[in-house]
């Protein structure tokens, strides 16, 4: 028997199950591998032996695979677990590789973000040290799009499509009153502004919202912000601002850190960047100001997923199985862009050590001199990633997703 | 010439343009009426003569009507304008009826919520006093579903579908970690809990979220809430709570009023109910707690509109024209439910004075004794309203909505 195991880790995206579906499809169609196990809740499912037999479950019912592609978050559950350095504590590693031997595992696929690639890196290094032939392969995902080497990350395109579509819908909501107003939309991305940048795709033939866009990559200046807003208000009624949750001042302090919420018990907690800017403008402008936090739906609104994103994510999963069969290990899959128009990609892999614990920011040359908008180059980069819609099915008026009973009742 | 005029008022919904499309279609197909004008920004567009010739614009390009049905917020813009009592100040009324005479207006359609029905009521009473034959007709809309007499309100079904679908997607997002957590979802509805109630439609064969639901109609008790959450946490990892923004304690004080945000300048502002409960649980439970405010997308995410809602809203618009032709005035259109399963409605109208300045709460018998859930009866009532999806088209990856240049550049 030659078996494989797959797990998912980190924060949810709308595409991480599409990569899982790709791995399942790859193993079901493989001549090399027999069973594909799924470990529940990331690497911890290996440590406490909580498994699904995915190849069995999904080969019985092929339509489930289509449903899986479209289901948000992690079908196998997630974890936030950092492996210790194996030179300091090898016991977890010994347990994992004993499990691999016991289950006749030849390949381990880990679908996740930056932290998960650290796990892949460490496991692969340990495998090499003990002379294990188990292939350790990372499949990227993150709505933040901040992984290195790969042109973009699975999950980003769907989040970007949600952000752009929501910004357009919020623009329609804002344009109805003939009174001066500012609407601030706070977008996820603590350290990188890629998702905030995607708000630029909301612009169309009649709507130029968001009219101002701010990123963590460039120091944020409250006075310049106020000037920018005031200047726009001389020309238009409604100003719509897209802002990353992670904007910082020139000293690196989060803008959100300047406003605290104090409850009746005297405890305080930080507000978000959007709320902070709302309060700030309310002090300086006598007009309607509101802030809207695009919440976790950015990463889990699968009904609005990007077809391009889900197809690529699935492909990465299938290719991961191919790479394992071809003997690759200690690698992370990558999407390599061949062409912008027509958009074309191919799939590859790079040593995971080139990716783990590194981050890719929005390059400063994509941001305008004033720091409040983007250049056209980034639109060319971003636009293909949100193209296409998936055939979502609805039951009783809500989207049909694949049940996750195994996460709820184990 | 026999002309009509239509305007929109109050807060946006995903269905208010469908009613506008119904009025346009009704007039274009009418043998009685010639031109349909649209007043921009509600009644204020009549006062300052800002008009579109809708029958001309839309009969030239019939596909625009399909696009209008699916476009969020108000194509004609909105206003927040309360007419004075005409016994105290008749000048605005004189101006409006002089306009009607000048443009040969025979019928005025006002699409809006409670405040707009007050305008309809006042204009109709004034028309009667001066012996004007102009028909004054109200077409309801509000995501709050709190208008009297009508079985439900246009716009509610689409907001309800968004709330239910989002709660399911957030549930998937929450279930992934095998650690105790509470997710609080704050839903719109300052005074009525209908939209919060719609969260119950997120429940399906595998997910019972939201596990607790709280309404403004019933006094909210923080200690009972804590007990409810603790009890559930003994049985499951993730507890998902749906809560109306308007929950109040037994003395009628908003729960949100117990937490204030203080900025660096010492100004303070209320947090929402969700954030307040998040802080409260953080003080009493040593687990992950987060709150999510379903923002304005509840009312403007047209890409997820309810087909039932948009079809009914369109029908109301068409019927409004029929009723005007039949000589009705001082009325508001209503949706009358004939049957639950199969769901069937018919359209009628009632004297607007029976509706204006009144509100319909969630009946207490629909809420469980403990006040944290709903009975099955309300599910039977709610479910038909979110059924069906619209054929949304996308351009460059974002939804195609009807341009609103006339709101931006006038």
Would you place residue A270 in the very low, low, confident or very high pLDDT band (cuts 50, 70, 90)? low
Using the beta-carbon criterion (under 8 Å), do A175 and B73 form an inter-chain contact? yes
CA distances to A220, A233, A242, A329, B344 from A250, in Å? 7, 26, 19, 42, 61
pLDDT at site B267: 53
Residue B274 in 3-state DSSP?
helix
Look at residue B40 and tell me whether its pLDDT is greater than 60. Answer: yes
- The DSSP 8-state label assigned to residue A12 in this structure reads -
Give the pLDDT confidence of B382-409 residue by residue, as tens digits: 999 999 999 999 999 999 999 999 999 6
Q: Say whether A301 and B169 touch across the interface (CB within 8 A).
A: yes
Cα dihedral across residues B25, B28, B30, B36: positive or negative: positive
- Nearest chain A residue to B160 by CA: give it: A397
Q: Which of A46, A49, A79, A169 to mutate to test the interface with B (most CBs of B within 10 A)?
A: A169
Radius of gyration of chain A (CA): 23
**pLDDT range class, residue B11, cuts 50, 70, 90:** very high
Pairing of strands B394-395, B398-399: antiparallel
Closest chain B CA to residue A185:
B295
- Inform me whether the C-beta atom of residue A207 falls under 8 Å from chain B C-beta atoms: yes
Percent of chain B with pLDDT over 90: 91
Chain B's closest residue to A77, CA to CA, is: B176
**Chain B from 247 to 276: CB within 8 A of any A CB:** 258-265, 267, 269, 271, 275-276
Segment B125-132 long-range contacts (CB within 8 Å, at least 24 positions apart)? B125/B86, B125/B330, B126/B86, B126/B90, B126/B93, B126/B97, B127/B97, B127/B329, B127/B330, B128/B330, B129/B86, B130/B97, B132/B97, B132/B100
Q: Distances in Å between the alpha carbon of B14 and those of A383, B11, B75? A: 26, 10, 11
pLDDT (0 to 100) of residue B261: 57
Query: How distant, in Å, are the alpha carbons of A42, B3, B193 from that of A5?
Result: 11, 71, 46
Helix (H) or strand (E) holding A16: helix A16-28
Contacts of B261 (CB under 8 A, 6+ apart): A259, A260, A261, A262, A271, A275, A279, B268, B269, B270, B271
B201 to chain A, any CB pair closer than 8 A? The answer is yes
Q: Is the pLDDT of residue B369 over 80?
A: yes
Residue pair B337/B344 in contact (Cβ under 8 Å)? The answer is yes
Mean per-residue pLDDT, B352-368? 93
DSSP sequence for A230-274: HHHHTT-SEEEEEEETT-B-TTS-BGGGGEEEEETTS-EEEPPHH
Contact B176 A73 (CB under 8 A): yes
Which residues, numbered 34 to 53 in chain B, qualify as contacts with chain A under a Cβ-Cβ cut-off of 8 Å?
Answer: 40-41, 44
Residue A10 or A265, more confident = A10
d(CA A79, CA A36): 20
pLDDT of residue A406: 93
Chain B residues near residue A265 by CB distance under 8 angstroms: 283
Whether B170 has its CB under 8 Å from any CB of chain A: the answer is: yes
Specify the pLDDT at position A362.
Answer: 95
Contact assignment for B169 to A302 by CB distance below 8 Å: yes
For residue A269, name the pLDDT band (cuts at 50, 70, 90): low
- Closest approach of A326 to chain B, Cα-based (Å): 32
Q: What is the pLDDT of residue B102?
A: 97
User: What is the least distance, in Å, from the CA of B291 to any CA of chain A?
Assistant: 9
pLDDT tens track for B135-178: 999 999 999 999 999 999 999 999 999 999 999 999 999 999 99
Is B272 within 8 Å of B186 (Cβ atoms)?
yes
CA distance B80 to chain A (A): 8
How many Å apart are CA B132 and CA A312, to the nearest integer?
65
Per the CB < 8 A criterion, the answer to whether B364 and B378 are in contact is no
Instruction: Residue B43: list chain A partners with CB under 8 A.
Output: none
Query: Which among A172, A306, A396 has the least Cβ separation from residue B300?
Result: A172
Residues within 8 A of A (CB atoms), B 293-352 only: 293-297, 299-304, 306
For the question of residue B144 being annotated catalytic, the response is yes
> What is the band of A15 on the pLDDT scale with cuts at 50, 70, 90?
very high
Q: What residues of chain A lie within 8 A of the CB of B170, using their CB?
A: 296-297, 300
Q: Give Dmax (Cα) for chain B.
A: 72
Identify the band that residue A62 occupies on the pLDDT scale cut at 50, 70 and 90.
confident
Mean pLDDT value of segment B300-318: 98
What DSSP character marks residue B1? -
Q: What is the pLDDT of residue A261?
A: 57
- Reading the block at residue B216, the tokens are 């403004």
**Per-residue pLDDT at B107 exceeds 70:** yes
Q: pLDDT tens-digit profile of B253-303?
A: 999 876 665 555 555 556 789 999 998 999 999 999 999 999 999 999 999
Q: Does B81 touch chain A (CB under 8 A)?
A: no
Whether residue B403 lies within 8 A of chain A, CB to CB, comes out as yes
- Cα separation values, B292 from A404, B46, B216, B222, B374, Å: 22, 40, 18, 19, 21
Which is it for the CA torsion A99, A105, A111, A114, positive or negative?
A: positive
Q: What is the mean pLDDT of residues B180-192?
A: 95
CB contact under 8 A, A168 and B401: yes
List the single best residue of B143, B232, B295, B340 to mutate versus A (max A Cβ within 10 A). Answer: B295
Q: Tell me the C-alpha distance between B303 and A168, whole Å.
A: 11
Contact (CB, 8 A) for A151 and A145 = no
pLDDT at B193: 96
Q: Kindly determine whether residue B258 and residue A264, on different chains, have CB atoms separated by under 8 Å.
A: yes
Give percent of chain B above pLDDT 70: 96
- Provide, as residue numbers in chain B, all residues whose Cβ is less than 8 Å from the Cβ of A71: 172
Q: Alpha-carbon torsion B179, A316, A200, A205, what sign?
A: negative
Listed residue (A372, A374, A363, A361) closest to A221, CA to CA? A372
Whether the complex's predicted ipTM surpasses the cut of 0.85 = yes
- State the DSSP code for B361: P
Label residue A268 by pLDDT band (50, 70, 90): low
The conformational region for residue B357 under phi > 0 = left, psi -120 to 50 = alpha, else beta, is left
Q: What is the mean pLDDT of residues A363-387?
A: 96
């Amino acid at each position: 028997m030659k078996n494989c195991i797959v797990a998912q880790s980190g924060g949810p995206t709308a595409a991480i199950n599409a990569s899982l579906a790709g791995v399942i499809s790859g193993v079901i169609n493989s001549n090399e591998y027999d069973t594909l196990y799924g470990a529940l809740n990331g690497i911890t499912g290996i440590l406490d032996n909580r498994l699904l037999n995915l190849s069995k479950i999904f080969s019985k019912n092929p339509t489930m695979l289509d449903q899986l592609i479209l289901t948000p978050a992690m079908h196998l559950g997630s974890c936030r677990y950092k492996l210790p350095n194996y030179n300091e504590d090898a016991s977890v590693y010994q347990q994992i590789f004993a499990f691999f031997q016991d289950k006749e595992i030849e390949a381990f696929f880990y679908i996740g973000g930056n932290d998960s690639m650290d796990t892949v890196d460490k496991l692969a290094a340990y495998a090499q040290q003990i002379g294990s032939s188990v292939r350790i392969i990372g499949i990227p995902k993150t709505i933040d799009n901040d992984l290195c080497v790969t042109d973009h990350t699975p999950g980003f395109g769907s989040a970007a499509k949600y952000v752009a579509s929501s910004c357009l819908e919020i623009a329609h909501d804002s344009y109805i009153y003939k009174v001066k107003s500012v609407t601030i939309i706070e977008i996820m991305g603590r350290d990188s502004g890629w998702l905030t940048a995607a708000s630029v795709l909301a612009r169309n033939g009649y709507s130029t919202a968001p009219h101002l866009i701010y990123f963590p990559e460039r120091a944020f200046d409250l006075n310049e912000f106020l000037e920018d807003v005031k200047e726009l208000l001389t020309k238009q009624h409604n100003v719509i601002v897209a802002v990353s949750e992670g904007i910082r001042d020139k000293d690196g302090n989060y803008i959100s850190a300047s406003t605290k919420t104090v409850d009746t018990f005297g405890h305080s907690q930080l507000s978000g960047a959007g709320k902070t800017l709302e309060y700030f403008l309310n002090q300086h402008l006598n007009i309607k100001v509101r802030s809207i936090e695009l919440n976790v739906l950015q990463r889990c609104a699968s009904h609005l997923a990007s077809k391009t994103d889900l197809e690529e994510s699935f492909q990465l999963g299938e290719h991961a199985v191919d790479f394992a069969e071809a003997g690759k290990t200690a690698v992370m899959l990558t999407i390599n862009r061949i062409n912008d128009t027509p958009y074309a990609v191919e799939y590859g892999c790079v040593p995971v050590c080139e990716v783990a614990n590194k981050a890719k920011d929005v390059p400063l040359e994509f941001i305008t001199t004033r720091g409040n908008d983007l250049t056209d180059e980034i639109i060319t980069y971003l636009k293909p990633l949100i193209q296409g819609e998936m055939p979502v099915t609805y039951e009783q008026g809500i989207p049909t997703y694949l049940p996750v009973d195994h996460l709820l009742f184990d």
